Structure 1
């Protein structure tokens, strides 16, 4: 790792896209895939920061007031302030982070791929010995993440992501701009699916990915474990 600070900070990446294609429905980052990992990270003694594609307060989806972890996240004074005023990718110093975590929500399918700033964050965190993690649609942030040698981070690596079957099950196959699992395979990834909506966490070196919301806690736990292994 590049510094002591980078071992105790996590950067969670959020979408700024709030329109679900031409459905007339809203989307955004999926709150459970942020709140539950945040809980894991903070319980592990890590500090969590946020970044979003456009900065400011990003659109949110999936809020369940009956979920105490979501409520704790939203009511936490520090996280509430960070959520209302997220920086843009270019305003973030990747050297401060041991983990970058690409959270899901359908919005990411529109604004994570092709974003050079997000890719640069992931590249630097990975190349300085940190962990790159993503869950559900969050691996859209890995689609165009290339390393300094020009290779795709996911090339030759086992990954989990929201599956084609799951996209069909939620009726959005024709709405999303591409099918995430297919695009990752095109980039050289080895996609490892599990049954629909079942927890599935895949660890390949310092790349940790999860298939769906049920995988969010497990991805965070695995990311912390991999980070601790780098410290040993």
Structure 2
């Protein structure tokens, strides 16, 4: 049996405008069911532990509704504190998106060390939408940046603009631009269409529509 750890933001406000933030609901629900339908175990950790904040719940999305009414959501709301987790017992880690982690994961030393250890051990690192924020500022054992020369994607500037996510007021930086600055080879498709990129043991997806696809590609690697 494979064990997957979802690492989730604990931040509920973002930007100078103090807008509501958290994890994007479907970006947990959709991959969760891809994993458990394969018989995998999914655990949840967050920066602070406990009940992480969320945005974007839509009851018309069948998987989101099913997740919210099921045991997965109950377990998520009692998430482990990341500092209490032994990540060596997991086959993969996954970072769902949402604006919250642009605050609490961009420079978090434990997040950086966790990604470094998982990546260097050959295990799978997955992220979707704003989730690749967690991969910024990760220094590997040889002193190089994790993102240097890696094929990566994430939520794009065009999508931020369509969502009226203005710099500083809503988001602290443009994620695609920061990924490129750290050496990522960035690619994307049209706004809000599914797009997944695989580079070795790193899997990234562009937007909410890509969340289930990231899990599917992670499963193939596992």
Structure 1 residue aligned with 2:161: 168
Structure 1 residue aligned with 2:102: 109
CA–CA separation in structure 1 for the residues paired with 2:131 and 2:81: 17
Figure out how many residues of one structure are paired with residues of the other and give that number.
220
Q: What are the Cα deviations for residues 9-57 of structure 1, in whole angstroms up to 9, with x where unaligned?
A: 0011111111132335311100100000000011111100111111111
Structure 2 residue aligned with 1:57: 51
Structure 2 residue aligned with 1:220: 215
Contact 1:164 1:173 in 2 (8 A): no
Determine helix, strand or coil for the equivalent of 2:80. coil
1:156 aligns with 2:149: yes
Structure 2 residue aligned with 1:120: 113
Contact 2:14 2:103 in 1 (8 A): no
Contact 1:146 1:152 in 2 (8 A): yes
How far did residue 149 of structure 1 move? Answer: 1.9
Give 1:1-232 correspondences, 5 Å limit.
Answer: 8-77=2-71, 79-174=72-167, 175-227=170-222
How far did residue 179 of structure 1 move? Answer: 0.7
Contact 1:120 1:145 in 2 (8 A): yes
How far did residue 128 of structure 1 move? Answer: 1.8
Determine helix, strand or coil for the equivalent of 1:134. strand
| Cα 1:38/1:173, change in 2 over 3 Å | same
The alignment's C-alpha RMSD in Å is: 1.3
Determine helix, strand or coil for the equivalent of 2:33. helix
Contact 2:118 2:125 in 1 (8 A): yes
Contact 2:194 2:205 in 1 (8 A): yes
Structure 2 residue aligned with 1:230: none
How far did residue 156 of structure 1 move? Answer: 0.4
How far did residue 76 of structure 1 move? Answer: 2.2
Determine helix, strand or coil for the equivalent of 1:220. helix
CA–CA separation in structure 2 for the residues paired with 1:122 and 1:137: 16
CA–CA separation in structure 1 for the residues paired with 2:81 and 2:209: 28
How far did residue 129 of structure 1 move? Answer: 1.7
Q: Structure 1 stretches of 5 or more lacking a match?
A: 1-6, 228-232
| Cα 1:60/1:191, change in 2 over 3 Å | same
How far did residue 139 of structure 1 move? Answer: 0.3
Determine helix, strand or coil for the equivalent of 2:97. coil
Q: Structure 2 stretches of 5 or more lacking a match?
A: none
CA–CA separation in structure 1 for the residues paired with 2:221 and 2:87: 18
- Name the TM-score, length of structure 1 as normaliser: 0.91
